[in-house]
Amino acid sequence: TPEFDWKPETIGIIDSSFFWGYLVTQIPGGFLAARYPANRWSPLWKNSTVFKSVCEYLKCLIQLKIPADCEIRSVIRFLNAKVVKVAEIHRQISEAYDGNIMSEGMVRKWVRAYKDGRTVVHHEERSGRPSVITEDLVQKVDEKVRKNRRFTISSFSNDFLQPSRSVLYGIVTRHLNYRKLCSL
């Protein structure tokens, strides 16, 4: 085939594997269908559908009882504005939201954030871990590139000890838009 460099024997084995796979599953399936016809199982399928519907309904009820994170943070922000102590905020939240909804340490963290001027109760949008690529690092790499156009990522990794080679490669290709690199 044009995609793989397979010998005809290998292609034959793969094709026959599909055939044997179908054969091995179809024959026992036919015997089981003859022995246990579908009309015997229909009450079971009906009951399982009802059971699944009940489970979905219960799941919705449970989710209604669990408050959103921003709701709890709003309560923390409100009580913090009323100059309530952290331990008391935690006690009131635990009492209102059934126990272990948030640890006292997390309440303390959010109180500290609101005292430092945070006003938003929602998560800050970011994907994954924070980036190690800063504007300062990009500028330093750009200066190095302009000094020596025949650079290598290996030579940069000797000059910049903290970021890894993959981070340096990302700076050079994505941030500085250099496409051709020295391979030495």
Instruction: Name the pTM for this structure.
Output: 0.40
Query: Could you give the CA distance from residue 170 to residue 123 in angstroms, rounded to a whole number?
Result: 27
- The stretches in the chain having pLDDT less than 50 are 1
Q: Report the pLDDT value the prediction gives residue 146, as an integer from 0 to 100.
A: 86
Q: Which amino acid is at 137?
A: L
Q: Tokens for 183?
A: 């391979």
Provide the residue ranges of all domains of the chain, joining segments of one domain with +.
10-64, 69-116, 135-175
Strands (E), the chain: none
| Cβ neighbours for 14, distance < 8 A, ≥ 6 positions apart | 6
* Residue-level pLDDT at 76: 92
Say what the pLDDT of residue 53 is: 81
* Residue 182 in tokens: 């020295």
Say if residues 167 and 133 touch (Cβ distance below 8 Å): yes
